[in-house]
Amino acid sequence: MARYRGPKLRITRRLGNLPGLTQKQSKKKDRPGQHGKSNDGNNKKTTEYGLRLEEKQKLKFNYGLTESQLYQYIKEARRKQGVTGLILLQLLEMRLDTICFNLGFAPTIANARQLVNHGHITVNGKVVDIPSFQCRLNDIVSIKPKLTSKNLIENNIKTKKLIELPSHLKFTESTLEGQIINYCERNDILLDLDELLVIEYYSRR
């Protein structure tokens, strides 16, 4: 399945706030679709499968993943020792596009992916144009030494809505450099998600 490129506010009305997908808020409160109003409030009946599916879709839309990409991350998280749900989130948070978003280089993860694709971002001094690139501890994420790249990202930093920098990142404003100092903690994740339900969704595969 291809990456989603449709209306974003329609997704946030169904799944709730997804900071990585869009910063905009819909004026409509009902869920999208013909039965949006009838599915609201106490009348809404969601099965256990439906709950797991929605949590999985939150993760997928927020980080801009395809179904196969998300399944690969699930398999990798299972192979590692520790709490599978937290490891999954840590793997996603260590993607280069997510790091750029958290540093304020872009207003959404989709915009951060575009910055990386266009070669505006460097890791340890080398240009990396792969958004899914897995960063490591102590990596330095910075901007390509080019005026257009610098101006673009400086404007994004000035207008960013997310105030607090996650505890696993360090940002130097004078040089516009970010450093990964640790793996993310669960409370650093902006997304309102029950990752255990995502693991349960894939448990039969």
What is the full per-residue pLDDT of the chain (205 aa) written as tens digits? 456 676 667 777 777 777 767 766 656 666 655 445 544 444 556 788 888 999 998 898 889 899 999 999 999 999 999 899 999 999 999 999 999 999 989 888 989 999 999 999 999 999 999 999 999 999 999 999 888 888 888 888 887 665 678 889 999 988 889 999 999 988 888 888 889 999 999 887 6
- Examine the domain organization and report whether 70 and 82 are in the same domain: yes
Q: Are residues 63 and 19 in the same domain?
A: yes
Q: Is residue 2 part of a domain?
A: no
Residue 68 maps to a domain: yes
Residues 145 and 176 in one domain: yes
- Specify whether 111 is located in the same domain as 84: no
pLDDT score at 1: 44
In a domain, 1, yes or no: no
d(CA 149, CA 93): 23
Task: List all residues 6 or more positions away from 57 whose beta carbon is below 8 Å from its beta carbon.
Answer: 15
Residue 127 lies in domain: 95-182
Which CATH number goes with the domain that contains 41?
1.10.1050.10
* 108 and 86 within one domain: no
Cα 112 from Cα 86, distance rounded (Å): 23
Tell me: do 111 and 81 sit in the same domain. Answer: no
pTM over 0.95: no
CATH code of the domain in which 137 resides? 3.10.290.10
pLDDT at site 170: 92
d(CA 18, CA 190): 8
Answer yes or no: is 104 within a domain: yes
Q: Are residues 59 and 119 in the same domain?
A: no
Specify if 3 maps to a domain: no
